[in-house]
Amino acid sequence: MSNDYDPEKFEAGEMDVSTQENTFDGFMKVCVITTVVTIAILIFLLIVGV
């Protein structure tokens, strides 16, 4: 198995994390939308009296 990791060439903070940031932003957006829709449905059911 090849090992491309060289600890002497490592520089902290150099890696491009834009893909991970975009994925996390999308995940959080879905979580917020799901939460808001769930709360809206629960309030609607409370008002209607089901």
pLDDT tens across 4-15, in order?
A: 788 888 788 888
Q: What tokens appear for 42 in the block? A: 């629960």
Specify if 38 maps to a domain.
yes
Could you give the number of structural domains in the chain? 1
Q: What's the pTM value of the predicted model, to 2 decimals?
A: 0.69
Specify if 32 maps to a domain.
yes
Amino acid 36: pLDDT = 98
User: Domain limits at 44?
Assistant: 23-50
Specify if 3 maps to a domain.
no
Specify if 17 maps to a domain.
no
Q: What tokens appear for 5 in the block? A: 């990791």
Residues of the chain predicted below pLDDT 70:
1-2
Following DSSP, what letter does each residue of 16-47 receive, concatenated? --HHHHHHHHHHHHHHHHHHHHHHHHHHHHHH
Furthest-apart CA atoms within the chain: distance in Å: 66
